[in-house]
Amino acid sequence: MRRPDRQFRHGRPRHPGPAPHQRHLGACPTPDLRSPPVTSFATGRMLLTPTDRHGPARAKRLRKLDLGERPDASYDNFDAFADKVAEVTATPFSMVNFIDENRQFFAGLHTPAGNRGGQDLGSAAARSNRSSRYMARDHGYCPHVLVRRKALVLDDVCDYPRFAGNPVVDDIGIRSYLGAPLIDRTGIALGTVCAVDTVPRPWGRAGLDTIKSLAHELVRQIDDREGHRTV
């Protein structure tokens, strides 16, 4: 078995990351206008969220699992799991994100100030939804993880034209992303678990292995939760 990278050994990274006053870099640098465009501005296809053909089945499954809202105290477990993800990856933000046909819902949320309402996520979520536990379906990178059904590692979102133009870059200041799908026992991708930072992060193979392991752990908890509800 491959030994884990020292950066993520013993459940927390070797380096805690930049100091709070160094953590926000803002929007991606303006591209060199002398260079040929990488994205088609006529269609904007590189910036669009990929088509989700399994949206109806996912929404039905989420309703059956009673996920997508916060009906009871059991959701505190998702917040606790988001805290764990943030600790392991040393990131200021982490989420357990369930995605239906119309929106994203942060059932688990960790922010630097510990604000569970998510106000620290910035203006994008607050403007586009009544509650900042929700985010528009075409914002962020979790919808891409959901459709591709594979983990996504972005050391610096500004390095990828497809992702650099996402609204969360300018509105929230996201510069790096690490996420994996939550594929339940029926084979449906319910959502994602992810960690994000406001500075570039060299996640490496250790980061990929870590987020995939965390996703598998959470899926087991969701399956167990369903089993207890049906007993």
pTM of structure:
0.77
Question: Residue 225: what pLDDT?
Answer: 80
How far is residue 119's CA from residue 121's CA, in Å, rounded to a whole number? 5
Note whether residue 75 is domain-resident: yes
Residue 84: domain span = 62-230
Q: Which of 150, 145, 124, 143 is nearest to 135 (CA)?
A: 124
For 32-174, where are the alpha helices, taking DSSP H only?
A: 55-64, 76-89, 123-128, 142-148, 161-164, 167-171
User: What's the pLDDT band for 117 if we cut at 50, 70, 90?
Assistant: low
Domain assignment of residue 135, yes or no: yes
Residue 4 resides in a domain? no
Helix, coil or strand: residue 177: strand
The answer as to whether 204 is a domain residue is yes
Mean per-residue pLDDT, 94-114: 90
pLDDT of residue 38: 35
Tell me which of 16 and 115 has the higher pLDDT. 115
Is residue 88, in this structure, part of any structural domain at all?
A: yes
Band of pLDDT at residue 1, cut at 50, 70 and 90 = very low
Residue 202, domain CATH: 3.30.450.40
Per-residue pLDDT tens over the stretch 139-172: 999 999 999 999 999 999 999 988 998 888 888 8
Number of domains making up the chain: 1
41 domain residue, yes or no: no
**Gap between the Cα atoms of 27 and 157, Å rounded:** 10
Give the pLDDT score at 29: 66
pLDDT in tens, 85-99: 999 999 999 999 999
- Do 184 and 218 touch, CB atoms closer than 8 A? no
Residue 73 included in any domain: yes
pLDDT beyond 60 at 120: no
In the chain the beta strands, taken as DSSP E runs, fall at 93-99, 103-110, 134-136, 152-154, 176-183, 189-197
